[in-house]
């Protein structure tokens, strides 16, 4: 029987015990009662990567706490993207934005008119739905296909949704919550459809640095296609290095979208955090070793979760993600109704993300955050199993 003790402990995921984590004041650790194990929002239970910590400590030592400028961040990201994905976007064309969500809103506001129809795959990251409606863009839900091998992009369905009169497509790749990573062929097909139906593509690649070895992340903008040249991509170090609270992301235009991204207003960029810029720049230039150690630990966790679920909750259908630390669990066979996370919380005292908030295909599902120690992954599965007794 696999147990968490057999997992290599020398990863960033095992640095803190529960008492230390409960002293954190971020939303993951403050939302629920102290007896609840939080496995929900996409925060990592890791220490700050040492090169990033050094950059922040140096800034504090200098009293360097003024307003942000993009500075060397665009160049740092271009170098990272070149080394990792063989894609070298032009730093001069990038714009600093506070975070990926606000960058998506800016991009869609630039490339569409009020009342526009924006296609979003479901299940989908919940803020996509309410942020877009808030700025007067209507979400068109385009479900992914689901089969025995897990989820995949349903190109026929996407075509029907484009053909019905879509203005833009908010592509999330790698995908939250399913962890799928689109292949170059799938991306080329998306670009072909976008050209045929004149749909602008805005791409959320926030999870790209967290792609596991068996998959390869292909930036949409790196394709040789008109839709890629007209795309705007949002990139950030915030998921892979757990910097969400520091606030910095980049809007990266394809060649034909440079003038649109150039119109992102100064005051939008000014909403970014100076520490976010400093930390992200350091992540992209010197954070590679730490990221590799993190990925090794997450890789072990995603396999451990499969073993533990097979032992303790064999009715749950789980296909390990090919990127990122979120596991999308099909709990429909457990008989816990549309929102199994609610039962896990109430009876098991473990907080997963609620499936239905990801759109209608999320009914009966829950999202599990693997970005913690193997011990806590095991504890969470025990709490889930206890829900059923």
Given the rule CB under 6 A, which residues bind ligand PLP?
A: 42, 99-101, 125, 172, 176, 204, 206, 236, 238-239, 244, 249
Angstrom distance (rounded) from CA 277 to CA 227? 29
Nearer to ligand PLP by C-beta: 236 or 301?
236
Task: Give min distance, CB of 176 to ligand PLP, in A.
Answer: 4
Nearer to ligand PLP by C-beta: 112 or 242?
242
Nearer to ligand PLP by C-beta: 239 or 376?
239
Task: Give min distance, CB of 72 to ligand PLP, in A.
Answer: 20
Task: Give min distance, CB of 81 to ligand PLP, in A.
Answer: 17
- Helix H or strand E encompassing 151: strand 150-152
Nearer to ligand PLP by C-beta: 7 or 70?
70
Task: Give min distance, CB of 353 to ligand PLP, in A.
Answer: 10
Nearer to ligand PLP by C-beta: 98 or 297?
98
> Which of 374-378's residues contact partners 24+ apart within 8 Å by CB, and which partners?
374/4, 374/7, 374/13, 374/14, 374/300, 374/301, 374/304, 375/4, 375/14, 376/18, 376/37, 376/39, 376/45, 377/4, 377/301, 377/304, 377/305, 377/308, 378/3, 378/4, 378/304, 378/308
Task: Give min distance, CB of 104 to ligand PLP, in A.
Answer: 7
Three-state DSSP at 292 gives helix
Phi and psi dihedrals of 48, rounded to 5? -65, 135
Using a 10 angstrom Cβ sphere, with 0-12 exposed, 13-18 middle and 19 or more buried, the burial of residue 205 is buried
Angstrom distance (rounded) from CA 70 to CA 276? 10
Nearer to ligand PLP by C-beta: 269 or 387?
269
């Amino acid at each position: 029987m696999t147990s968490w003790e057999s997992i290599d402990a020398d990863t960033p995921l095992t640095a803190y015990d529960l008492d230390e984590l409960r002293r954190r004041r971020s939303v993951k650790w403050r939302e629920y009662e102290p007896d609840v194990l939080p496995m929900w929002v996409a925060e990592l239970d890791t220490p700050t990567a040492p090169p990033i910590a050094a950059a922040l400590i140096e800034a504090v030592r200098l009293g360097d706490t003024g307003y942000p400028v993009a500075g060397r961040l665009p160049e740092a990201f271009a170098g990272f993207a070149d080394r990792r994905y063989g894609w070298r976007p032009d730093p001069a064309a990038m714009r600093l934005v506070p975070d990926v969500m606000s960058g998506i809103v800016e991009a869609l506001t630039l490339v569409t008119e009020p009342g526009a129809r924006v296609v979003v795959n479901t299940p989908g990251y919940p803020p996509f739905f309410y942020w877009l409606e808030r700025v007067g863009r209507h979400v068109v839900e385009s479900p992914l296909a689901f089969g025995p091998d897990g989820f995949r992009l349903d190109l026929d369905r996407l075509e029907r949704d484009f053909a019905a009169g879509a203005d833009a497509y908010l592509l999330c790749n790698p995908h939250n919550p399913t962890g799928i990573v689109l292949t170059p062929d799938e991306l080329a097909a998306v670009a072909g459809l976008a050209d045929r139906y004149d749909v602008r593509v805005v791409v959320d690649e926030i999870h790209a640095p967290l792609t596991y070895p068996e998959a390869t992340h292909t930036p949409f903008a790196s394709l040789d296609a008109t839709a890629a040249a007209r795309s705007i991509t949002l990139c950030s170090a915030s998921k892979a290095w757990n910097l969400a609270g520091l606030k910095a992301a980049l809007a990266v235009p394809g060649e034909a979208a440079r003038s649109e991204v150039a119109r992102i207003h100064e005051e939008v960029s000014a909403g970014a955090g100076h520490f976010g810029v400093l930390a992200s720049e350091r992540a992209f230039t010197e954070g590679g070793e730490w990221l590799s150690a993190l990925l090794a630990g997450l890789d072990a966790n995603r396999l451990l979760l499969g073993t533990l679920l097979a032992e303790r909750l064999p009715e749950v259908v789980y296909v390990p993600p090919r990127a990122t630390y979120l596991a999308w669990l099909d709990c429909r066979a457990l008989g816990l109704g549309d929102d199994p996370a609610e039962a896990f919380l109430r009876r098991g005292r473990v907080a997963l993300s609620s499936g239905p908030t990801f759109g209608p295909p999320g009914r009966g599902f829950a999202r599990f955050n693997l970005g913690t120690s193997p011990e806590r992954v095991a504890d969470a599965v025990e709490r889930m199993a206890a829900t059923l007794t």
